[in-house]
Amino acid sequence: MDNVSIITVFTLSGLSDIANYRVILFVLTLLCYCVIWLVNVTIIVTVIVDKKLHEPMYIFLCSLCFNGLYGTAAFYPKFLYDLLSTTHVISYAGCFLQGFVLHSAVAADFSLLALMAYDRYVAICRPLVYHSIMTKQRVCILIFFAWIIAFYFLLMSTITTAILRLCGSHIPKIYCINWLIANLACSASVAKIVIPAFSYTFCFGNVCFVFWSYVHLIKTCQSSKENMGKFMQTCVPHLFSLTVVVVSLLFDLLYMRFGSKEIAQSVQNFMAMEFLLIPPIMNPLMYGFKLTKIRKRVLNFICGKSSAFRFKS
């Protein structure tokens, strides 16, 4: 038992059989990460630069894109390094930091999607008081608390897991998460049961709030073609984003808890990466194509740059 206190690194699994196509996976992963940065930064810069987009819906969208960059930054650089390395290890502190960032990004995702649902609810169901309720100051406060609450839940989870006495150092995944670290504990702990229960309840509560707001939105929009137009333009991308996040996470969680080890390792890795690949790319693309103001601003910028380049040539 004396050895449980001297664990300095964790070993990660899932990349032992990739020697023959290591470079191809590296290039594809790097390309995906570049696309994630491109589409998210495009939305963020567009919203920040254009003062006409300094409205609650676009500010929430900007925060969602920033959160996508925050979460993926904890995974892709380390994963890219592991693809070119023969040893797949992560330091003790690095493992907990990676788990904290990934978990907090997911929690913040749900908080921000809930805020976006509330914003659409007020805009469509209570349009006369929308600007008095969703002021810039109140929007900033809501975003601040969305991040703080997510950080608080996951900080408690990380601290509770970090004080455990561990009897192993092998993480059966391509990245660290608190639940798998807690599984290495020498005895049963609150970190493995109670803390995840609070986190899941928090995320589930946000999802329930979103669906509750959409029930009211649909009832309100049925009586007005104008409201239905607003719903289709602004709410469909939001609902799509929520569905993508929930489905991606459910695949990974269900497999992690109940999945069979007989599934091919490549499939396991894709399921583990799914919520770090699809939502960060699809969210800005969906909003960028569907929201007219953002689409026009981005196209004007691209066309303007193209015209300038042709003029110089």
Report the CATH number at residue 157: 1.20.1070.10
pLDDT of 183 > 90? The answer is no
Report if residue 262 sits inside a domain.
no
The CA distance from 53 to 25, in Å, is: 38
User: Does residue 189 have a pLDDT over 70?
Assistant: no
Q: Is residue 312, in this structure, part of any structural domain at all?
A: no
DSSP string, 211-235: HHHHHHHHHHHTT-HHHHHHIIIII
What average pLDDT does the segment 132-149 reach?
A: 91
Q: Examine the pLDDT at 283 and tell me if it is beyond 70.
A: yes
pLDDT band at 138 (very low <50, low <70, confident <90, very high): very high
Answer whether residue 185 is part of any domain: yes
Contacts within 8 Å (CB) and 24+ apart, 31-38: 32/76, 32/277, 32/281, 33/72, 33/76, 33/80, 35/281, 36/68, 36/69, 36/72, 36/76, 36/280, 36/281, 37/69
Domain-embedded: residue 269 = no
The answer, yes or no, to whether residue 310 has pLDDT greater than 60, is no
Residues 205-239: tens digit of each pLDDT: 877 888 887 777 777 777 777 767 766 766 777 77
Average pLDDT over residues 273-279: 86
Report yes or no on 270 lying in a domain: no
Closest C-alpha among 164, 147, 155, 159 to residue 105: 147
Indicate the pLDDT class of residue 3, thresholds 50, 70 and 90. Answer: very low
Q: What is the per-residue pLDDT for 192? A: 64
Return d(Cα 35, Cα 238) in angstroms, integer.
Answer: 21
What does the alpha-carbon distance between residue 250 and residue 271 come to, in Å, rounded to a whole number?
10
Average predicted confidence (pLDDT) for the chain: 82
Q: Is the pLDDT of residue 185 over 60?
A: yes
Q: Is residue 239 part of a domain?
A: no
Among 20-24, 172-176, 196-200, the least confident range: 196-200
In a domain, 71, yes or no: yes
CA of 15: how far to CAs of 183, 263, 268, 313, in Å? Answer: 21, 15, 11, 48
175: which 2 tokens?
Answer: 């990245």
Q: Is the dihedral of CA 45, 48, 51, 54 positive or negative?
A: positive
| Helix, strand, coil tally for the chain in percent (to 5) | 80, 5, 15
The reported pLDDT for the residue numbered 27 is: 94
pLDDT winner (highest mean) among 184-198, 227-241, 269-283: 269-283
Is 42 within a domain? yes
Bridge pairing between strands 9-12 and 89-91:
antiparallel
pLDDT at 100: 92
What is the pLDDT at residue 35? 95
Lookup: tokens for 253: 């969680």
**Residue numbers of the domain that contains 122:** 9-208
Mean pLDDT of 232-256: 75
Q: Please check the confidence at residue 78 and state whether its pLDDT lies above 90.
A: yes
Whether residue 163 has pLDDT greater than 80: yes
Helix (H) / strand (E) element for 156: namely helix 136-162
Taking residues 97-119, report their average pLDDT: 89
Q: What is the pLDDT of residues 31-76, one digit of tens each?
A: 999 999 999 999 999 999 888 888 898 899 999 999 999 999 999 9
Q: Do the Cβ atoms of 150 and 107 come closer than 8 Å? A: yes
Q: Domains in the chain: how many in total?
A: 1
